[in-house]
């Protein structure tokens, strides 16, 4: 019995819907329906998932600067100690990918400054390549904080107008790599959602030991939820006495709804008194940063 006759016989029995297509001999397999009927059917094809390997970054082609110009944190200050604590906590948490993004509820909470300073403290380990990426495409800050304006940026790479290496800037003195943005973009969501952006982030993951990403606030755009799916987790930056508790809970819930791990909170603009006898060297600052680990809570204490 040929294939057409077998299909007609099975249809009369009510066991098979009418469907037919051309196949090659290699795609066929023969099965017995009953003692008088044999049917040739398609062999199911299982596609193996292949690990995509991206081309390595040619570090000889990146932009090199002797040093960046920015406001340094005093090495022996309390704020510097807080950043060391944040660096240690981040190493303990150990995100699933070698990256983390900093976001906040709204602008003006200190996320860009926190991203910059943490990157500088991570880069003090000379045997590691640390990269700071500006993905706050609507209101970029990394280039301004380092007083550096690039000629091309990551958006040019997404649009295939520039090579990735030409958007990375390295400072010999700070041992830090940065990817600043040359201007603000109104169509940031479309850029971040593109397949080219995913490939770029994956390529960066393969070439750097750790990546810090500065993103938009959670409550103003969907951009952080897009970026968050490409990296290891998020850290919320919260301004003391300004950020509302309800806003913070809403922002964390928005990240969780997209399965983005919230690794911790950084409280900014905290003021506290340090007695003289605590420190041999005393520095006075109006703004301090404090890191608080946050995990698995339904509400935020504050």
**pLDDT per residue as tens digits for the range 187-225:** 999 999 999 999 999 999 999 999 999 999 999 899 999
Q: What is the DSSP letter of 171?
A: E
Q: Rounded CA gap, 93 and 107, in Å? A: 26
Q: What's the longest Cα–Cα distance across the chain? A: 98
Q: Helix, strand or coil for residue 111?
A: helix
Asked whether the beta carbons of 149 and 183 are under 8 A apart, the reply is no
Neighbours of 26 (CB within 10 A): 6
Alpha-carbon gap, residue 239 to 270, rounded angstroms: 8
Q: What confidence score (pLDDT) does residue 5 get?
A: 57
Which DSSP letter does residue 273 get? Answer: -
Note the pLDDT of residue 104: 95
pTM of the model: 0.74
Going by C-alpha positions, the residue among 147, 186, 153 that lies closest to residue 167 is 153
Cα gap 158→228, rounded to integer Å: 18
Calpha distance 185→176 (Å, rounded): 25
**What's the pLDDT score for residue 46?**
44
Q: Give the integer Cα–Cα distance in Å for 79 and 159.
A: 40
| Cβ pair 89, 293 in contact under 8 A | yes
Is the Cβ–Cβ distance between 251 and 219 less than 8 Å? yes
Separation CA 212–CA 116 (nearest Å): 8
For the chain, residues with pLDDT lower than 70 are 1-53, 272-302
Domains in the chain, CATH or no CATH each: 3-42 (no CATH), 62-293 (3.40.50.300)
CB 86 within 8 A of CB 113: no
Q: Within a 10 A sphere around the Cβ of 57, how many other Cβ atoms?
A: 19
Residue 296's pLDDT is 39
């Amino acid at each position: 019995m040929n294939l057409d006759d077998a299909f007609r016989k099975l249809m009369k029995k009510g066991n098979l819907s009418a469907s037919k297509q051309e196949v090659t001999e290699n795609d066929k397999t023969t099965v017995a329906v009953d003692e008088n009927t044999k049917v040739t059917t398609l062999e199911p094809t299982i596609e193996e998932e292949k690990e995509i390997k991206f081309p390595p970054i040619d570090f000889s082609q990146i932009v090199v600067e002797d040093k960046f110009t920015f406001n340094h944190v005093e090495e022996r200050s309390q704020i510097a100690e807080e950043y060391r604590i944040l660096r240690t906590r981040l190493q303990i948490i150990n995100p699933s990918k070698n990256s983390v993004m900093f976001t906040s509820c709204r602008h003006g909470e200190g996320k860009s400054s926190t991203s910059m300073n943490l990157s500088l403290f991570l880069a003090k380990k000379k045997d590691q390549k640390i990269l700071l990426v500006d993905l706050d495409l609507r209101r970029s800050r990394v280039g301004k904080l380092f007083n550096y304006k690039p000629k091309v940026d990551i958006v040019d790479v997404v649009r295939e107008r520039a090579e990735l290496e030409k958007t990375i800037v390295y400072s010999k003195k700070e041992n830090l790599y940065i990817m600043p943005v040359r201007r603000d973009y109104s169509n940031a969501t479309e850029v971040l959602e593109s397949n080219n952006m995913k490939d770029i982030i994956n390529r960066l993951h393969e070439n750097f030991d750790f990546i810090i990403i500065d993103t938009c606030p959670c409550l103003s755009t969907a951009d952080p939820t897009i970026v968050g799916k490409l990296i290891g987790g998020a850290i919320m930056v919260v301004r003391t006495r300004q950020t509302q508790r309800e806003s913070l809970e809403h922002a964390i819930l928005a990240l969780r709804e997209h399965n983005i791990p919230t690794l911790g909170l950084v409280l900014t603009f905290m003021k506290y008194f340090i007695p003289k006898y605590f420190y041999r060297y005393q520095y006075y600052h109006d703004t301090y940063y404090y890191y608080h680990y946050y995990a698995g809570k339904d509400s935020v204490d504050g």
